Amino acid sequence: MAIDELTSLLNQVEKRFEQEGNLIQIESGRVIFAGDTHGDIDATQKIFEKYLNLEN
């Protein structure tokens, strides 16, 4: 990708993010927020097991 294409893409993304709010409203359902586990599959699995009642 050329530098001018990348610059254009980044400008488009920036405009899109500026249009979106900082809060996402969810009508219904259960939501769990977990920080970035950096690929730690054990931590991710424990989150699923604890909060989503999933096993293996």
Give 13-31 pLDDT, tens digit per residue.
Answer: 999 888 887 777 788 888 8
Is the pLDDT score of 10 beyond 60?
yes
Do 44 and 37 form a contact (C-beta atoms < 8 A)?
A: yes
Q: Which two tokens stand for residue 41?
A: 């599959």
Domain boundaries, the chain: 3-52
Q: What are the backbone angles phi and psi of residue 52, rounded to the nearest 5°?
A: -115, 5
The burial of 45, by beta-carbon neighbours within 10 Å (0-12 exposed, 13-18 middle, 19 or more buried), is given as middle
CA 40 to chain centre: 16
pLDDT at 44: 87
Select from 52, 31, 35, 32 the least CA-distant residue to 43. 35
